[in-house]
Structure 1
Amino acid sequence: MMKRRNTRPRAFDPDPNAPQRCCDMPDCTSPAGYRAPRSRDSLNQYYWFCLEHVREYNARWDYYKGMSPGQIEAHLRADISWDRPTWAFGQGPGQSKRTMPNEDDILDPLDILGQNRRARADRARAQAEPRIPAHLREPLAVLGLDWPVTLANAKTHYRALARKHHPDTNQGDLAAEERLKKINVAFTIVKAHLQTEELEKAG
């Protein structure tokens, strides 16, 4: 039986393309079969060493020798992007914000983008709507008024509520009387605030 010959090169076999010359290490006359880069700036230019001296050279090799920590970090960041410039998504050369994908065109089975849109709409609505002073929220709710409101509108609305819930109109109903008391207190608070606002604007 013929034994198959292993043609796979061994790990430390010399480079088959090595030049026919002696090792570049001074005073070494051994054949040069192994290459090593001359510097980090000349990675395609090589020294040619024998096996002993290429091992020695590689043991001393420090790619980042002479670089500051900041330069090393910048170099590593450049390596991550293959030394190519990077831009924010959709803002590279020749692109504008108009080329950004439309959220409606993106498959979104979990409605994540829909939730984001609704959240943005809620924030915009909250910013657009006038902010109700905290001490007026309950009185306005009792009176059924929306904010902002003028003093004239508040008075008109108050009179209508007072007639509706007056005990005489409700045949002495105690519940209506209690409701009217709350309406009176609420209107007093709202009226005082609106009158103060008018005085501040006039002054």
Structure 2
Amino acid sequence: MLQARSDPRGGRLVGAAFRPHNHETMNFSSRLFDRIRIGPSEAEEVVEADARLCDHPGCTKAGEFRAPMGRGKEGKFFQFCLEHVKAYNATYNYFAGMNDEALAAYAKQEEIGHRPTWKLGVNASAARMAQRGRVTGGQDSAEVEDAFGLFRGRVRREQERAESRVGAVARKALETLDLDDTADRAAIKARYKELVKRFHPDANGGDRSREGRLQEILKAYQTLKSSGLA
């Protein structure tokens, strides 16, 4: 309550400080509350109720930016704020934990667009008959008897042409790895690891501009492994 006292200079009553009793409550409808402001340094960022929060543990900012969850979770994404999506992208490595065989398998799948494939088998009995010069087909196909080996020369030439085609592909793969025909298995593997480390985004500060070159290296190494050179 307001207490009054006399002013010896003018005889007026001067109001003392207002001291509310414990049982009195503050008037929240007062206009004084309209003038209360919170400084920017004290204000916390408020996220709308329908907005998704950043997936970084402990972060209360809005998760406005998507980031891939990684290998094995293709098509799924984290939601981060700007600060944490930058940090995530700087350390993201799709190939983390993959050994040479896994990298080669990925490169092979990359060639076919990661579509399922079926391995083409060879009929053992047909192969034996071809070696003896006799090929037997189905109901609508002709049977060829070559007991004197009249067609073996042509078959051998066709095999040599097929081998030369494989050689040309392998030679091109060696050139991709900056190697020549004299490179052995150890040299190929060493150069492959060297180039992967050189062109991997992690070795270039997260720069993905060289990923095209990295894919060429992966495909070349898979080709050399398929041909038995690596």
TM-score tier, shorter chain, comes to 0.3 to 0.5
Query: Per chain length, whose mean CA-contact separation is higher, i.e. which structure has more relative contact order (CA < 8 Å, sep 6+)?
Result: 2
Question: What TM-score comes out, normalization by structure 2 length?
Answer: 0.30
Bigger fraction of residues in helix: 1
Question: What TM-score comes out, normalization by structure 1 length?
Answer: 0.33
